[in-house]
Every structure is written in C-alpha cells, then in structure tokens.
Amino acid sequence: MINTNSKIFVAGHKGLVGSAIVRRLKEKNFKNILIREKSRLDLTDQRQVLKFLKKEKPEFIFLAAAKVGGIYSNNKFKAEYIYNNLAIQINIIHSAYLSNIKDLIFLGSSCVYPRLCKQPIKESYLMNGQLEKTNDAYAIAKIAGIKMCQSYNEQYKTNYKCLMPTNTFGPNDNYNELNSHFLPALIKKAHNLKYNKKSTLTLWGNGKVKREAIYVDDIADACIYFMNKKLKETFINIGTGKDYSILDYAKLIIKLVVPDKKIKIKYDLSKPNGTPRKVLDVSLAKSYGWSYKNTLKEALYKTYKDFSKLKKR
C-alpha cells in the first residue's frame, strides 16, 4: 500500500497531470517523491530508463509523461505522437517489470474509444469501432499502453492500472492556440479580448460537438486513490459524467473572463469538429468509491486565476 514514506516516481512531473500529482502528493505530506528533468533522463531512451529505475528502485510509478496536444497538433504531427508516446510507455512499463516494481498507474485518454461510440462511453467499448482520424495516432499509442499493462498483469502478475481521464484542464496547462486542447485555447482567446478592441471570439468547427471536462486536481486525486485500491479491471474511466457543447463552454468562459464586454461568437467551419460527442460512463469509478469534487465553474475560476498569474509574470 502506498503511504507517506513510500518512494514514488512521477514521470512527466512538469506536465499538466504530472505536476498536479506532485502537488497533491506534497499536500498530503508524501515525503519521498522522485522526479527527473528531461535533460537528465530521456524517457524515450530505454537504456537510460532501465538504468534509472534499477538504481533508484521506486515502489510506485505514476506514468503521466506523454506528448499531448489539441486537434490541430494531433492531426499534423501524427508521427511524433505515435513514436514518442509508444517509446515512453514501452520503456517505463517494461523497465518497471525488469526492476521488480509491481505498482504503476498509466494515464491513458478518453480518445482511445471509437469515434461514433454509444454514449456515455463504457470501458467495454474499447476497440469496438473506428477511431477519430484527427487523433488516431495518439489513441493507438495509448491503447497499446493499456494492452501492455493488461498483458504484463496477466503474464507477470504485476499490478499495473490504467486510468482513462476525459479532457483535463487546470494550472500548468498548455495555452498555445494551435497545440492546446479546446478549454485552454478558449481561455486564452477570451483573455485576449479583455485587452484589445476586438469583440469576436472564433470557435473551430460549428460549436455543437459535446465534450466532458475535468479539473486536473481531481485526476491527481484519482491517481492516488486508485493506487491504493485493488481492482479487478485493468482500466477505468475517470471523469465527471457530464458534457457540454463547445459553444456552452465558450459562453461560460466569456462570462468569467470578460463579463462587462459584449462578445460575438463566430465559427470557423474550415476547421474540424472532431468526435461528435464524448462523455464517459464513470459508474465503475463510483462503484470503487471515487468521484470528482470540483464543479466546472469552480474549476474554470481556479484555472483562469492561475492563467492570469502566468500572464503577469
């Protein structure tokens, strides 16, 4: 069982989810958190990873390291997405096994599910249909990670668990308009309207597609919670079970960021919509006693507050 004295390696500690895991572990008084800068440990280099894990011997691993991005980046740089994610996963999971590390949590993604999935999405729908073409390379890499954990558990009796989070946002997010996910992109667009004379916010696609989103601290809590749970299943959905249209999110963010300015919403129909709807069935997570804590409005407020601090630096 994981406890405050356990030696814990957080792979990807500078990313959105990894930094949240480190933050939550520290808040919960965990004393032995192991991290490494990219300059000191290249997770795509198998020899480096194996040497590091054999030397440091962490008891638990949170595998939050990944190459991630939004619809534009996923579609344009497919080779980088499939190579980097496969390499990181293969190296850490296999090296953990070779180093006799039995407990690991692998962070997947809700994009592993088929594009035209029945809603809400159950874990059993994995590999039951065609993937969304704009992010299929990333999704295939994440599916491979799930199947790798599953295979090692079956053959080597490891305890590798996979969490499938929905769209995640919060402090330390990526706000690059071409490479970010939809929520940070919307926050940045709305923030820019606050400081210029423009009064139009442009959405990619028609704004009708529906997405579920969860605050990153809830994902971090889920990681710590499920590391201490005995699961019958290899992977489990993590989300709120609630979805809204992109237009709904845009209106919420405009109200939060520029409440005193009348903003017109336009649509760029030359840009892709992506998957029509994506909301997770989180009943399995709830059956184990876990559920999210931060409401969407609270989470957006905290996220924008953090973003505002970044802009002032």
For residue 3, is it within any domain? no
Catalytic residue among 138, 152, 160, 249: 138
For residue 1, is it within any domain? no
Which residues of the chain are modeled with pLDDT < 50?
Answer: none
For residue 162, is it within any domain? yes
Residue 308 maps to which CATH number?
Answer: 3.40.50.720
For residue 2, is it within any domain? no
| 3-class SS of residue 44 | coil
Nearest in space to 240 (alpha carbons), one of 287, 286, 180, 189: 286
For residue 80, is it within any domain? yes
Structure tokens at 160: 């590798």
Could you write out the DSSP letters of every residue in 224-244? HHHHTS--SSSEEEES-S-EE
Range(s) of the domain holding residue 210: 8-312
180-184 contacts at long range (C-beta below 8 A, 24 or more positions apart): 180/69, 180/70, 181/68, 181/69, 181/70, 182/70, 182/71, 182/211, 182/246, 182/249, 183/213, 183/249, 183/253, 183/300, 183/303, 184/303, 184/307
For residue 140, is it within any domain? yes
Q: What is the pTM of this model?
A: 0.95
For residue 82, is it within any domain? yes
For residue 42, is it within any domain? yes
Nearest in space to 86 (alpha carbons), one of 136, 36, 140: 140
Average pLDDT in the chain: 95
**Is 138 designated active site?**
yes
Look at the chain and report how many structural domains it folds into.
1
pLDDT of residue 197: 86
pLDDT of residue 312: 66
